[in-house]
């Protein structure tokens, strides 16, 4: 990574060099053989794998070996409620839903509603409860199977989780969290403890089932420090190390640095209406095109830095042929930035129209998803 | 305190100088006026107050002012399950029961079953669950009112407690717990977080009632560092500071240093039979008597350092006249150490006989005491 780039669970900034992330974090890139194995099981290919949007992993081969032996894994991912859901949040969840469908597996979806409370000075539990409900609607709207999907809300399910978190916490000392998360003497003791709560869903289903079940965590790469610690601890308390599969960050509207954040004008939210999407893309979406039409026709555009093209590639154009066509035309100057933006606006709005319909229906379905069992 | 004496929530050793403890901890001694006020409300006097067994407090006057205005407090005390109950544990609970009866107030009794798990290397939750059940029997056997007594078990009630603990934890940083509890870089993150859980019962009843209720914590003085932090934080999260009333440590059999600990031969456990009590007192109870009968008759004994006399004074002889009689006779040599030991053995065994009967009956009553409500 360039020295000004930063990737931690709480901050992603600067131009991220993913090859350096792989090296520094100690994850592995996903090889062709693993992609083929996944495709064989799924019966189809997924563009996020083909295109390297999910680009890294830990222990993926073990997960596939176990699966092929008939030992199914469960999926674990999550969302710390702290604001509205934007397209960047949806990216790993869309792939997670595909995994759930194709592998026919359980998903444990954690909502650590204390995390942002602990890490943000001016956020209270009342506000978080509102975000939590809104965020759950977006997850449900993506179409997860309610029979195989279990929402775990930290403060609500602490009766299940806290004891297990203590088992993890006993094995982690202050100097480990200081090194992993940059904590210091002024860090509050809730934040210091928190990583133990994030570890719990990776083995809670095994505790409930009273037998070890492999766990696969799809997540954006910035969360890896939590799971690195989790993986260190698990064998010491009698559990499997969770495997993981990591994706790139969806870039913010204004360019390729950092990740889409929740600042109002940098992100497209799932609740934005058609006009807002159009306005944001037209006003902010960083363009890879040239300064004038004439120059663009002559030199062509640069899809690598064009945000609209990146959104199509990472989320909205699963068809490789169509994407290649757009790329070709944009690169040779045949397609103008305005046209590329129009295509993207249409794609996003078509997606959001459906999503918002399902989101509305989800309001009556929250209870189907919240975990009700006991150990 | 002498420089080798130590009073922390995890260690009490050396000869404790309680006047220095009062100064160093910043608690106040209980004055005659407060004792009189308590006696007026209670309609009787309690020997633990008269004799300075409960010797210090924080904000006791406020608790009495509020009570006299018709604003009742609730009591909060607790026990971290980690072994058998001995006489030293019972001391503050016996006084707590008297307070409950005389002031007709609720008692919240915390069993922080994760505390010793986190602080002791080789203790697991299975063993702690056994201690927990055994410890609950002793508490119930003391006769607390089941309609007004609520057991809170941290891992079981974490669904109620963890969110509230996070509110406390957000206001406490690592450097505060390092200073208060002597923690360091190697301390595990569960232990670091733990004081936030110990704070919760001091305001949980107010959260449940949706109005502030004053809290009075009777406890042995070594727990004060926890509640000092709690008191600092409470006004910052919208709650009353809990008041507290502190007792001396019951000395171990072998002498006046430290406190009765759970090592098999240093303590009298509630489950010891008559023979064991007799053997332990005869073999170990440190005597204030002289080396020979002749010398004792001439010089007399020293009740201040005599463990049997101290047990009578602190627990088993509530009658001041009878105690004074024993003291006089022992001091002037009329009563021999053997006789004093016999009196003490009889008193302890009479108490334990009753206690063990009630303890047996308590086995069917645990469910009456475990808190079942929600917020």
Q: Is residue B260 part of a domain?
A: no
Alpha carbon of B288: minimum distance to chain A alpha carbons (Å) = 45
Residues A331 and A200 in one domain: no
- Token pair 């934890």: residue: B169
In angstroms, the CA A296 to CA A330 distance is: 9
Residues B201 and B281 in one domain: no
Residues B241 and B334 in one domain: no
Give the SS3 label for residue A77. Answer: strand
Q: Do A173 and B187 count as a contact with CB atoms less than 8 A apart?
A: yes
pLDDT, tens digit, 9 for 90 and up, residues A148-162: 999 999 999 999 999
- With an 8 Å Cβ cutoff, the interface of chain A facing chain B consists of 114, 117-118, 125, 154-159, 161-163, 165-167, 169-175, 177-178, 183-193, 195-196
Alpha carbon of B362: minimum distance to chain A alpha carbons (Å) = 25
Closest CA to B172 of B196, B188, B202: B196
Residues B29 and B145 in one domain: yes
Give the SS3 label for residue B223. Answer: helix
Please tell me the predicted confidence (pLDDT) of residue A1.
45
**Residue finishing a domain among B192, B224, B253:** B253
Give A25: exposed, middle or buried? Use CB within 10 Å, 0-12, 13-18, 19+.
middle
pLDDT, tens digit, 9 for 90 and up, residues B220-233: 999 999 999 999 99
Residues A55 and A188 in one domain: yes
Q: Look at the alpha carbons of A151, A154, A155, A157 in this order and tell me if their dihedral is positive or negative.
A: positive
Residues A195 and A109 in one domain: yes
Q: Is residue B71 part of a domain?
A: yes
In angstroms, the CA A208 to CA A213 distance is: 10
pLDDT, tens digit, 9 for 90 and up, residues A55-89: 999 999 999 999 999 999 999 999 999 999 999 99
Of A125, A169, A174, the CB nearest to B118: A169
CB B63 within 8 A of CB B33: no
pLDDT, tens digit, 9 for 90 and up, residues B297-323: 999 999 999 999 999 999 999 999 999
Residues 6+ positions from B180 with CB-CB distance below 8 Å: B195, B225, B228, B229
Q: Please give the C-alpha separations between residue A285 and each of A254, A299, A308, A342, B127, in angstroms, as whole numbers.
A: 5, 20, 7, 11, 60
Q: Do A117 and B170 count as a contact with CB atoms less than 8 A apart?
A: yes
The stretch B1-12 carries a mean pLDDT of 72
Q: Is residue A338 part of a domain?
A: yes
Q: Do B165 and A190 count as a contact with CB atoms less than 8 A apart?
A: yes
How is residue A269 annotated by DSSP?
Answer: B
Q: Do A118 and B166 count as a contact with CB atoms less than 8 A apart?
A: yes
In angstroms, the CA A174 to CA A185 distance is: 10
CATH code of the domain covering residue A288:
1.10.240.10
CATH code of the domain covering residue A128:
3.40.50.620
Distance of CA A265 to the CA centre of its chain: 20
Say whether pLDDT at A268 is over 80: yes
Residues B164 and B33 in one domain: yes
Say whether pLDDT at A3 is over 90: no
Q: Please give the C-alpha separations between residue B27 and each of A24, B16, B221, B246, in angstroms, as whole numbers.
A: 52, 15, 9, 9
CB B181 within 8 A of CB B225: yes
Shortest CA distance from B124: residue in chain A: A167
pLDDT, tens digit, 9 for 90 and up, residues B96-114: 999 999 999 999 999 999 9
Residues B195 and B285 in one domain: no
Token output for B106: 């609720």
Give B179: exposed, middle or buried? Use CB within 10 Å, 0-12, 13-18, 19+.
exposed
* Number of folded domains that form chain A: 2
**Residue finishing a domain among B195, B218, B253:** B253
In the sheet with A28-29, reading across from the earlier edge strand, the strands are A28-29, A54-58, A243-247, A215-220, A74-78, A107-111, A149-153
How is residue B210 annotated by DSSP?
Answer: T
Q: A–B: how many Cβ contacts below 8 A?
A: 121
Shortest CA distance from B157: residue in chain A: A159
Residues B14 and B80 in one domain: yes
Residues B95 and B20 in one domain: yes
Q: Please give the C-alpha separations between residue B22 and each of A185, B7, B48, B55, in angstroms, as whole numbers.
A: 29, 12, 18, 9
Domain of B50, in residue numbers: 6-253
């Amino acid at each position: 990574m360039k020295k000004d780039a930063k990737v931690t669970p709480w901050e992603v900034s600067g131009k991220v060099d993913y090859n350096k992330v792989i090296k520094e974090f100690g994850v592995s890139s996903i090889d062709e053989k693993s992609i083929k194995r996944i495709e064989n099981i799924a019966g189809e290919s997924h563009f996020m794998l083909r295109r390297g949007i999910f680009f890294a992993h830990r222990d993926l081969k073990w997960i596939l070996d176990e699966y092929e032996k008939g030992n199914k894994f469960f999926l674990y991912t999550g969302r710390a409620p702290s604001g509205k859901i934007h397209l960047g949040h949806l990216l790993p969840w869309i792939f997670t839903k595909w995994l759930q469908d194709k592998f026919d597996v359980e998903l444990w979806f954690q909502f650590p509603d204390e995390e942002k409370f602990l890490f943000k000075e001016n956020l209270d539990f009342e506000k978080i409860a509102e975000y939590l409900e809104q965020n759950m609607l977006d997850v449900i709207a993506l179409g997860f199977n309610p029979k195989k999907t279990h929402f775990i809300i930290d403060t609500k399910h602490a009766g299940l989780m806290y004891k297990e978190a203590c088992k993890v916490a006993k094995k982690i000392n202050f100097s480990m969290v200081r090194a992993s998360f940059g904590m210091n003497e002024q860090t509050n003791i809730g934040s210091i403890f928190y990583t133990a709560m994030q570890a719990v869903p990776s083995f809670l289903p095994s505790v409930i089932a009273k037998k070890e079940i492999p766990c696969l965590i799809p997540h954006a790469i910035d969360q890896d420090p939590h799971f690195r610690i989790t993986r260190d601890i698990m064998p010491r308390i009698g559990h499997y190390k969770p495997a993981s599969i990591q994706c790139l960050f969806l870039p913010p509207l204004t360019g390729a640095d950092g990740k889409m954040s929740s600042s109002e004008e940098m992100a497209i939210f799932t609740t934005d209406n058609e006009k807002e999407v159009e306005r944001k893309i037209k006003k902010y979406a960083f363009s890879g095109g040239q300064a004038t039409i004439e120059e663009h026709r002559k030199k062509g555009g640069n899809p690598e830095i064009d945000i609209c093209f990146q959104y199509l590639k990472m989320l909205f154009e699963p068809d490789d042929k169509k994407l290649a066509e757009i790329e070709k035309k944009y690169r040779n100057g045949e397609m103008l930035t305005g046209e590329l933006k129009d295509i993207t606006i249409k794609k996003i709005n078509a997606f959001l129209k459906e999503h918002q319909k399902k989101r509305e229906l989800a309001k009556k379905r929250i209870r189907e998803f919240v975990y009700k069992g006991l150990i």
